[in-house]
Structure 1
Amino acid sequence: MLATIVLSICLRHFYHAAVFCLVCAISLSSYPVIAEIQRLRLAVEPSPPFSHIDDEGVVTGLEVDIADALATEMGTLLETVACPWARCLKMAEQGDVDIVIGLSKTSAREQKFVFLDPPFISSILEISAYQRADARFDVSSLADFRALKVGVQRGAVHFKAFDNDPLITKIYVKDIQSLFNMLLVGRVDVFLMPTVAANEYLFEFDTENEIKRASFTQHIDQGGYIAVSKKSPLIENLETLQQVLGNLKSTGKLETILNKYNL
């Protein structure tokens, strides 16, 4: 009788352990190939109001939150690299990082990246022109740019009519701060920037109110994509990566992140 009871207890423990192991196995095999990726590498340029870098060089914000959610879903670690935009793109092109988040899709970029569909966000983006407050002219049309030196951040795209106009003299700079600095010292006459971002940067880089918003504005329908480097190990697992993104959407996790930034 005692032997029977002991045997029954052992069998019950074995049954529960077996179920536990089965559940674990199912959980761990949700993304079997992705699980082999030890880290997810994100390149991000700190760009207020959606991302910031603190005094210790730690980047926080929208792109980091989305990447962290992806990494968590994949069961891997997130590695974040802060860099000027052009450098971020170059690192991704070379496979030094895996993804860039918030990239707009162009035919040129599709040669080097795979864009996960659909975009994680679609919105109407307002782009404005900025010039010195003491400028004797007001930039109000695309044609006005053709008589000016226009500052452009390397790697940035704005809208096709501007990007593809060969008559516009573009002076390329490495980062946002350089755009403001060059405008303030007169090395460029004007630059374009999303209005919501410029409002943050004006507070930081234009403490003497020497820069004004010109009359010119452009509204574009823009999708924000997760772009995967074609030289990343993730490129072999795009179907699974799409599933990971789909799960973030279906569970509401992605919506929660976007709501945090009022998007």
Structure 2
Amino acid sequence: MKQPAAILISALCSLWLTAPLAAGMPDPVPLSTAAEPLQLTWCLDHFPYFHEYDNSATPTGPSVELMQELAHRAGFILNFTPRTPLARCLKLMEQGKVDLMSNLKFSEQRDQFMYMLPYRTNVAESLFMRVNDQRLIDSNTQLRGLTLATLRHYLYNPATMTLIAEQSRHIAEVDSIEVALEMLLRNRVDGVVAPTVSTAKAINAISSYQQRFKIAPLDFSANTPNNIHLALARNSRHAALEPLLRQHLQAMIADGTIARLIRPSENRPEVNQLKQ
């Protein structure tokens, strides 16, 4: 038989163990829901139509909506960098100082420091010329006498890359679409090879550019598949999320979310106007 002192101690222990619940305290929260959501930083430049800053601290565009939807599905908080040059974003990704980039073409070099997750097909590319240039450029051989501007650090479709390499003596690399268009307007180059939709959007955004440019009939389409990728830095603190992000991207492809958010260039008004 227990002694009175032992009975008292047992009762006090029982009361101590049950007191929080009796006082109305909540049940313990599982670790998975108690932890703060992960925060990932997306490094991005100004890529007309896809993601733009337009004098705002928050970017807009279909790529932004896509990334926000991915963050919602995967359960992380998405942070944006300020408008950052492409080359700088790539360097920060290599160092693991940012986590994500989007709208990237694959290369072996990039694959060394980023997981490349495909989510859509090629971005259309075109040759832009001054509207008063009477030359009809519809074949690769006609480019040999032209000086062309291309975008530094931008990876073109394989067929376009081959064409650029063949014309390397007559190529001027620049840092942005806007700089390339200004060079074209000032007769410093004969044409600009650049993403169709983004360049058309950049032209449409500046009133002094209206009726000044056109798209040449030369076909830059590539026969080799060349997907666009979301990139996750291999040196990111959150690199272990790669399978989860890949899974959700595939689900967004399958359910039509990506096709709904990022429409192809065909039949876009700003593009068709430049082809007339």
Which structure is higher in strand share?
Answer: 1
The residue number in structure 1 matching 2:79 is 79
- Structure 1: segments with no counterpart, 5+ residues: 1-6, 30-34
1:207 to 196, 206, 209: 209
Letter in 1 for 2:128: Y
Deviations for 1:187-243, whole angstroms, at most 9, x for unmatched residues? 2211122322232122124534121111212223432211122332233x1xx3322
Q: Distance in 1 between matches of 2:158 and 2:136?
A: 22
Q: Distance in 2 between matches of 1:88 and 1:102?
A: 12
The residue number in structure 2 matching 1:126 is 124
Q: CA RMSD in A?
A: 3.3
1:137 to 135, 155, 180: 135
Letter in 1 for 2:51: S
Q: Distance in 2 between matches of 1:26 and 1:87?
A: 35
Structure 1 residues 186 and 80, CA, compared in 2 at 3 Å: closer, same or farther? same
Q: Distance in 1 between matches of 2:91 and 2:212?
A: 33
The residue number in structure 2 matching 1:65 is 65
- Structure 2: segments with no counterpart, 5+ residues: 1-14, 265-276
Percent identity over the alignment is 22
1:177 CA drift (Å): 0.6
Q: Distance in 2 between matches of 1:202 and 1:171?
A: 20
Q: Distance in 1 between matches of 2:175 and 2:253?
A: 37
Structure 1 residues 157 and 261, CA, compared in 2 at 3 Å: closer, same or farther? closer
Structure 1 residues 108 and 144, CA, compared in 2 at 3 Å: closer, same or farther? farther
Q: Distance in 1 between matches of 2:173 and 2:70?
A: 33
Runs of 4+ in 1 over 6 A off after TM superposition: 251-254
Structure 1 residues 152 and 63, CA, compared in 2 at 3 Å: closer, same or farther? same
SS at match of 2:60: strand
Q: Distance in 1 between matches of 2:66 and 2:255?
A: 7
Q: Distance in 2 between matches of 1:107 and 1:133?
A: 38
Structure 1 residues 155 and 77, CA, compared in 2 at 3 Å: closer, same or farther? same
Structure 1 residues 246 and 85, CA, compared in 2 at 3 Å: closer, same or farther? same
Q: Distance in 1 between matches of 2:32 and 2:160?
A: 51
Bigger mean CA deviation after superposition, 56-65 or 73-82: 73-82
1:154 to 148, 152, 155: 152
2:220 is aligned with 1:218: yes
Q: Distance in 1 between matches of 2:90 and 2:50?
A: 18
The residue number in structure 1 matching 2:96 is 95
- Say whether the 8 Å CA contact 2:203–2:210 is kept in structure 1: no
SS at match of 1:92: helix
Q: Distance in 2 between matches of 1:130 and 1:226?
A: 27
Letter in 1 for 2:221: H
Structure 1 residues 247 and 112, CA, compared in 2 at 3 Å: closer, same or farther? closer
SS at match of 1:215: coil
Structure 1 residues 156 and 65, CA, compared in 2 at 3 Å: closer, same or farther? same
- Normalising by structure 1, what TM-score? 0.74
The residue number in structure 2 matching 1:25 is 31
| 1:246-261 alignment runs, 5 A limit | 246-247=247-248, 249-250=250-251, 255-256=256-257, 258-261=259-262
Letter in 2 for 1:145: L
1:59 CA drift (Å): 0.6
Q: How many residue pairs get matched? A: 238
